[in-house]
Structure 1
């Protein structure tokens, strides 16, 4: 069944606090949170809950064993997927987001892997950065900024 709810997707997240913060954003914006294993922490880790505060119990959490498992079970429409990478061809300002968008972010240290990028090269998006001194943003900050931008055009 194709997913019809918008979501933030974290592929192999490494830092519990980032995942907790993204979960809090998901609650605030009424988005699903999709996590793809393996994680660099235990999902029951109190750091996830600390960053998510008492909102974590309200997160609509969906967990997947792999990228392929996510594609099969969640089945997001290809045109609803937006994969964020620092070298994406399009700015997140110049994208027509669909109401069922899936904003996909990779590991904090490595980004998205070949498996996730393969066949989705036309879906790569970046957050523009004006300073040459910054390569990337914190995962939670990037996911939050992207979520607000994606919702901007469909609310």
Structure 2
């Protein structure tokens, strides 16, 4: 399946390490096709370990915030966000870097706009006006930049 079938207008002529791709017109016959590398198991192991540690830490730290109706509500909410984050990580792992580079300037402008918006329309938390509240959660634009 060609790259043009997946994303119209996307013409990738090199691999991640800079070598010409198989469909590149200037590819030499001596260079073998680059196989897709497998994800590093050590990085994934550390990532999964951090996810599990965060669940344990949240469960031990949120004992004062639980409601009488459901003791596990902070844990369930945190696990949902972890699952969403894991899905984003898996999607980004399988996305070509050129596609990310193409949209980087849009995300840079968006993050700067959110920074300005946090100073104008941000909510005050612990004496600092650095967060934007929306959709039932708060976003800190400084973490995006």
Using structure 1 for the length normalisation, give the TM-score. 0.24
Q: Relative contact order, CA 8 A, sep 6+: which one is greater?
A: 1
TM-score normalized by structure 2?
0.25
Higher share in strand: 1
By percentage of residues, which structure has more helix? 2
